[in-house]
Amino acid sequence: MTMAPELPWVPLLVPNMPSPQELLPWLERMHAAQHYSNFGPLVRELEVVFAQQFEMPHEHLTTVANATQGLELVLQALNLPTGAHVLVPALTFVATATAVVRAGHVPVLADVDAQTWMLTPKIARAACERMRIDAVMSVTTFGMPHDMSAWQQFERDTGLPVVIDAAAAYGSQWLQGAEGTLVFSLHTTKSLPAGEGGLVVSTRPGLAAKVRQLSNFGINLDPDVDTLVGTLAGLGTNAKMSEYHAAIGLASLEKWELHACDRREFLTGLMHDLEQASGYSLTWQAQGAGGPLMAPTLLCMRLPDAEARAALEQACQQARIMTRRWYQPLLQHMNVLQQRCLVLDTPDAQSLGQTLLGLPFFLGMTQQQRHRVLSVIAS
Ligand SMILES: Cc1ncc(COP(=O)(O)O)c(C=O)c1O
């Protein structure tokens, strides 16, 4: 008896990486220059484009090997006292908290807003009344941008530095004419993929330059300061972006806006159909005062309760549709972090942690795949 072939899984994400043909001109330039790392011509060119996009001098930004190291080095460059209390949302990717711990500090886990699913200045102000907070690291949850003027006001009122972990928000989060510090990921799954990579943007005087130095082992390259050129000015690491990754980033830049536009359109249509198929029982992340999500990279929805989520997960499993509990469990429920964090009241994050579920979202989803997802939601 012949068995029916199993249905292939509907994947959760499919990256939009440049093709080998699109990459080739950049790789040829790299090879001709014989410069493969250490702030070579392609990294510098990528940084020039970023400086144009963010409308700022290129000294105010630096590429890094990935967002995780970008976050860690920003915290190091802020020169906080060891063991500083850094407020982070309980609902985020683990790297937000590991960066704080690895920088020698203590993550203080805060709640998120029930609608935008983000740690807002209002929540941060309430946390400051409860305990000593030395810095804030908020997150652009699933790429949703923050209102930077509200965070600038928070910094001015409290004197506390604010860092935005904007890992998933390239193309959505800008400085919006305000002051601030942003850290982006250029990972394969993000809207501007470089394979691995990160970008630190900061209006804080000297911060990006310090991060750049720390990403190059901490070696001083500036002849105009007291430390000798070529000797250590700080205890850094190796978090430089290579020319190979810059080549992918530059090739991706040629298409990222088109991809972001296609993903926005696709997301709007898919959300509409999912809502209809569910009998209007789903809830979506709300846009905050920071404006709309311009470059979505994933689809995460909220089910009415934990039982509905478990049932949907099971139905998707049976229909061979991949799902993911993005940003879950909450940070305080991870053994490795438990002893290293302080936890405030997090009722909204707890509730989101029981009801959020990520579904497949990628350009090129076929009609059959889409139909399979919608049928499971409808049933
Ligand atoms: C909120 C958040 N922070 C940090 C990171 C880590 O980024 P990277 O992979 O570039 O280190 C991610 C990755 O998805 C993320 O979602």
In the chain, the percentage of residues whose pLDDT exceeds 90 is: 97
Q: Which residues of 16-29 are buried (b: 16+ CB within 10 A; e: fewer)?
A: bbbeeeebeebbeb
Give Rg (Cα) of the chain.
Answer: 22
**Is the Cβ atom of 63 under 6 angstroms away from ligand 1?**
no
Shared domain check, 167 and 243: yes
Atom of ligand 1 lying closest to residue 141 CA: 1
Same domain, 270 and 366: yes
170: CB partners within 8 A, 6+ apart: 184, 185, 186, 190, 191, 192, 199, 256, 295
- Name the token pair of 130: 């409860």
Task: Give the model confidence (pLDDT) of 176-234 as tens digits.
Answer: 999 999 999 999 999 999 999 999 999 999 999 999 999 999 999 999 999 999 999 99
232 lies in the same domain as 291: no
100: in domain = yes
Do residues 108 and 208 share a domain?
yes
| Residues 260 and 337 grouped into a single domain | yes
Q: Could you tell me if residue 356 is inside a domain?
A: yes
Range of the domain at 81: 20-253
Query: Can you tell me which atom of ligand 1 is nearest the CA of 70?
Result: 11
Q: Taking residues 287-305, what's their average pLDDT?
A: 97
246 lines ligand 1 (CB under 6 A): no
Asked if 343 and 107 touch (Cβ cutoff 8 Å), the reply is no
pLDDT at 144: 98
Give pLDDT, residue 1. 59
Residues 278 and 196 in one domain: no
What is the distance in A from the centroid of ligand 1 to the CA of 231? 31
What is the enclosing helix (H) or strand (E) of 377? helix 367-378
Distance in Å, CA 169 to ligand 1 centroid: 10
- Nearest Cα residue to atom 8 of ligand 1: 67
Which of 234, 253, 272 is the last residue before a domain boundary?
A: 253
Does a structural domain hold residue 188? yes
Residue 315 domain-assigned (yes or no):
yes
Q: What is the pLDDT of residue 6?
A: 84
Identify whether residues 246 and 320 lie together within a single domain.
Answer: no
| 345 occurs within a structural domain | yes
198 within ligand 1 shell (Cβ under 6 A): yes
The answer to whether residue 8 is domain-embedded is: no
The response to whether residue 93 sits with its C-beta less than 6 Å from ligand 1 reads yes
97: Cβ–Cβ under 8 A, 6 or more apart, which residues? 88, 107, 109, 331, 337, 340, 341
Mean pLDDT of the 72-84 span: 98
Residue 93 lies in a domain: yes
Same domain? 144 vs 188: yes
**Average pLDDT estimate for 66-76:** 98
Same domain for 243 and 335: no
Q: Are residues 230 and 277 in the same domain?
A: no
Q: Average model confidence (pLDDT) for the chain?
A: 97
- Is the residue at 12 inside a domain? no
Span 62-71, average pLDDT: 98
Ligand 1 atom at minimum distance from 99 CA: 4
Q: What is the DSSP string of 150-198?
A: HHHHHHHHH---EEEE-TT-TTT---TTS--EEEEE--TTSSS--SS-E
Domain count, the chain: 2
Question: Are residues 53 and 134 both part of a single domain?
Answer: yes
In sign, the C-alpha dihedral spanning 290, 292, 295, 297 is positive
The residue whose CA is least distant from atom 1 of ligand 1 is 93
Same domain, 313 and 201: no
> Is the distance from the beta carbon of residue 66 to the nearest atom of ligand 1 less than 6 Å?
yes
With 90 as the cut, is the pLDDT of residue 340 above it? Answer: yes
